[in-house]
Amino acid sequence: MAELTKKVVTTPSSPIPQAEKPKRDSKDIGSKTKHSIVSRRTTGDNIFDALNTVFMVIFTIVIMYPLLNMIAVSFNDGLDALKGGITLFPRVFTTKNYHTVLSQQNMLTAAKISVLRTVIGTVTSTIVTALLAYVLSRKEFLFKKQLSLLYVVTMYVSGGLIPIFLVYKALGMTNSFMVYILPGMVPAFSMLVLRTYMNGLPDSLAESAMMDGAGHVTIFIKIIFPLCMPVVATVALFTAVGQWNSWFDAMLYNRMDSDLSTLQYELMKTLSSVTNQHTNADTMKNASASITPTTVRAAATVVTALPIVILYPFLQRYFVAGLTIGGVKE
């Protein structure tokens, strides 16, 4: 039993050799010039570099063009946009689409819920997961292996959609805000990352505090948690992005309660009207009154993506660091 725990627990960090070199600055990945000594440049080299540059330019355009186009459309007049041909800049500039989005009551409620679930969900999940990691990183704790195993197994085994749905329903979590917070509050992967970090802290810190009469909760709050900030930031950002981007729980559990809808779910509803527009002329006729204009949809998309874009510099820094800490692809 004990052996199994160890094996399972060590798996995530062991397979990829790069993870064992934590000193490398993660931002430098791939940026070393390794052919610096080679000074002779052949025609082949030049052709390769030219083609490679062309590839990188095309790659950048393929990623960025749809996003920039979306922003341009969101600032364009709705009727004018129907003519098409908008590329990187709006043709008839207006901020009306944003006014429309931000004056819709359902969007405002959804935005409030999205912010609340992201903030509350991230804060509780991070603190609670770190507390579990603290308990499991105490070397004297008798059941640390058993409890770790209990959580690690959840990374591989899941009851599946329907049993989970029925259990949550029985717990009264349909049509409730708690369904955004409680499930997934203690992700085993984050726990492992935090525990690994805590195991690396010197034992003497907790021991000397213990001598002074501090309890575990005090030691966790005052000493260990503050020392884990770099890895806590990574885990918190993982959770925050997941919370902000999730839509399925809103649809599955809170479909009936529009006060609990989230931004992503509201955006999804505007999308499904587009699907019908694409394919089914009859549905389109019937639903035409409710179809959201492309420009308003673009504005809603930009609003939904905005927090991610604002957080992006931090995300890039901590996520890449998180990848090297965890040593596994997400």
Partner 1 sequence: MFKDPDFAKKLRNQKSLLLLSIPFVLYVLVFNYAPLFGWIMAFQKYKPRDGFIHSQFIGIENFKLLFRGNEFLYCVRNTLAMGVINLVLGTICPIVFAILLSEFRFNIGKKFVQTISYLPHFLSMIILTGIVFDVLSMENGMLNNFLIGIGVIDKPIQWLAESKYFWWIVGFANRWKETGWDSIIYLAAITSINPDLYEAASIDGAGRLSRIWHITLPGLKPTILILLIMNVGNVLNVGFELQYLLGNDLVKSVAETIDIYVLNYGISKSNYSLGVAAGIFKSVVSIILVFIANTSAKAMGEESLY
Q: Per rule CB under 8 A, is residue 138 in the interface with partner 1?
A: yes
Q: Minimum Å distance from CB 229 to partner 1?
A: 21
Task: Figure out which of the listed residues 104, 124, 284, 319 binds partner 1, where binding follows CB under 8 A.
Answer: 319
250 SS3 class:
helix
Residue 66 or 202 having the CB closest to partner 1: 66
Q: Per rule CB under 8 A, is residue 116 in the interface with partner 1?
A: no
Residues between 139 and 158 that touch partner 1 (CB under 8 A): 140-143, 147, 150-151, 154, 157-158
Q: Helix count (H) and strand count (E) of the chain?
A: 17, 0
Q: Per rule CB under 8 A, is residue 281 in the interface with partner 1?
A: no
Distance CA 200, CA 93 (A): 56
The residue among 49, 34, 106 whose CA lies nearest residue 261 is 106
Residues between 193 and 252 that touch partner 1 (CB under 8 A): 215-217, 241, 244-248, 252
Q: Minimum Å distance from CB 287 to partner 1?
A: 13
Task: Figure out which of the listed residues 13, 68, 70, 77 binds partner 1, where binding follows CB under 8 A.
Answer: 70
Paired residues of 93 in beta bridges? 76
Q: Per rule CB under 8 A, is residue 264 in the interface with partner 1?
A: yes
CB atoms within 10 A of CB 63: 10
Q: Per rule CB under 8 A, is residue 314 in the interface with partner 1?
A: no
Distance CA 273, CA 228 (A): 46
Task: Figure out which of the listed residues 22, 45, 229, 286 binds partner 1, where binding follows CB under 8 A.
Answer: 45
Task: Figure out which of the listed residues 88, 108, 119, 171 binds partner 1, where binding follows CB under 8 A.
Answer: 171
Per the CB < 8 A criterion, the answer to whether 88 and 66 are in contact is no
The answer to whether the Cα torsion of 188, 220, 180, 239 is positive or negative is: negative
Q: Per rule CB under 8 A, is residue 115 in the interface with partner 1?
A: no
Scanning 92-100, 119-127, 221-229, 316-324 for contacts with partner 1 by CB under 8 A, the matching segment is 316-324
For residue 71, give both structure tokens. Answer: 């922003």
Residue 59 burial (C-beta neighbours within 10 Å; 0-12, 13-18, 19+): exposed
Task: Figure out which of the listed residues 37, 256, 281, 289 binds partner 1, where binding follows CB under 8 A.
Answer: 37
Q: Per rule CB under 8 A, is residue 305 in the interface with partner 1?
A: yes
Q: Minimum Å distance from CB 292 to partner 1?
A: 11
The answer to whether the Cα torsion of 136, 139, 141, 147 is positive or negative is: positive
